[in-house]
Structure 1
Amino acid sequence: MDFISIDVETANPNMASICQIGVVRYSDGVLREEWESFVDPNDYFDGMNIAIHGITEEEVAGAPAFKELYPELTRWLGDSVVICHTHFDRLAIVRACDQHFIAHPSCQWLDSSRVARRAWSKFAWKGYGLANLCNELGYTFSHHNALEDAKAAAQVFLAACQETGLDVAGWIERVEKPVELGGTGSGADIRRDGNPDGTFFGDVIAFTGALAFPRKEAADLAASVGFRVSSSVTKKVTTLVVGVASPRFLVHSRR
């Protein structure tokens, strides 16, 4: 039960524009150390981002740039298992490293949102965002502060460990498997989490009608390019694949 949890905030839609980092270290499931820092992204601050986290250009004035903080960051991450909630923080660190032509941290990433989807199907209707999960779990925190979010992601992970009996190693193995295992061919066993490196990560796909090949294969293909596969058509579905016996049955409507 030893791991690191991290969160970052960004100045604008460019994921490399990190303006705050928060990191916590857990040993035997207990918080041992914490570290946070503002970061000068050497980039503009978008109004939408400021509205989310409240960090402004004035607040980070005089703060170190990402490259200056990199040695301290790698000291924390090292060869550890690093928890982050969704792929965002991992990709932000990777993009910032690429922007400064420095090596990616040699850690093993573990997405606590993927953990949560496998630990609690009952939360699916409210979503697996950090705020929703913490509200359901009774953990109070100040959202969109990097250190607070890092602690919140750690609490989600610890609660999932308690719920399932899995430890860090167990979850590293479990997140690579489908959300629903087994089944008898029902819609539930085609649910998949999307590949976080896929082009369509963040989109939700559903299949209906008669497909030319097994639906499980379609689900695997969709998940490999980033889609989260839903077993039914809901408001969260962004892409709907309709299998039809013949194109002549399709009716096109133009506005």
Structure 2
Amino acid sequence: MNDFIAIDVETANNAPSSICAIGAVKVSGGCIVDRFYELVKPEPEWYYRYFSENVHGIYPEDTADACTFDRVWKHMVSRFGYDAPGGMEHVVFVAHNKAFDEKCLRAAHRVYGMTWPDNTFQCTLSAARRKIPRQLLGRFSLPNVCEFLGIPFYNHHNALADAEACAKIAMTLL
């Protein structure tokens, strides 16, 4: 797979729509060509759960003046050059544990009355489980898969770092 957007979100609490950060990496021709990261003001579920804060290190004061998801999504689409009519139509998305990221993205689209681009969404977690024997890896977490594949990885739970790691895994396994 040579053309896709690897994407990762962090949430403020258990509500899937409470996205507080989004990171995305555009891959074209098998190369990373652009990166996108923005904090997101998580509305309408604006409160932060202590557990979530400890996982990703994002706090209410970090996102108080940030744009809401609808505006951040438009920034990303424009940044990656997909703002023409039908521009997102054939984009393939990739995430590590797509079940979580896709659920959150769909929920945020619903909250803001946006149409979710019903595109192909690949999962590097599933790919790793299919292609790497469990006895060689144990857990298939993003850091473990990166370490096994020799992909340098720092700053886990930073949405951009996670998206970039996911992109590199996808270029290796997919």
What range describes the TM-score normalised by the shorter chain of this pair? 0.7 to 0.9
TM-score by length of 2: 0.86
How many residue pairs align between the two structures?
161
Q: Structure 1: which 5+ residue stretches go unaligned?
A: 162-255
| 1:156 and 2:156 matched | no
- Secondary structure of the corresponding residue to residue 160 of structure 2: helix
Correspondence for 1:96: 108
Correspondence for 1:71: 74
Correspondence for 1:12: 13
User: What is the aligned-residue RMSD (CA, Å)?
Assistant: 1.7
| 1:131 and 2:143 matched | yes
Correspondence for 1:141: 154
Matched to 1:158, the amino acid is: M
C-alpha deviations, 1:103-155, integer Å up to 9, x for none? 11242111111111122125665121111111222222210000000001111
Correspondence for 1:25: 26
Matched to 2:143, the amino acid is: A
| 1:50 and 2:58 matched | no
Correspondence for 1:81: 92
Matched to 1:83, the amino acid is: V
TM-score by length of 1: 0.59
Matched to 1:109, the amino acid is: F
Matched to 2:56, the amino acid is: H
Q: Structure 2: which 5+ residue stretches go unaligned?
A: 83-87
Contact 2:137 2:148 in 1 (8 A): no
Distance change in 2, residues 1:100/1:124 (3 Å): farther
| C-alpha distance in structure 2 between counterparts of 1:64 and 1:90, whole Å | 20
- Secondary structure of the corresponding residue to residue 13 of structure 2: coil
Identity rate, percent: 32
Correspondence for 1:108: 120
Shift of 1:59: 0.7
Q: Tell me which of the two structures has the higher relative contact order, counting C-alpha pairs closer than 8 angstroms and 6 or more residues apart.
A: 2
Contact 1:117 1:124 in 2 (8 A): no
| C-alpha distance in structure 2 between counterparts of 1:16 and 1:9, whole Å | 10
Contact 1:74 1:105 in 2 (8 A): no
| C-alpha distance in structure 2 between counterparts of 1:67 and 1:97, whole Å | 7
Greater Rg by CA: 1
Correspondence for 1:228: none
- Secondary structure of the corresponding residue to residue 117 of structure 2: coil
Which of residues 54, 61, 64 in structure 2 aligns to 1:61?
A: 64
Contact 2:94 2:123 in 1 (8 A): yes
Correspondence for 1:2: 3
- Secondary structure of the corresponding residue to residue 24 of structure 1: strand
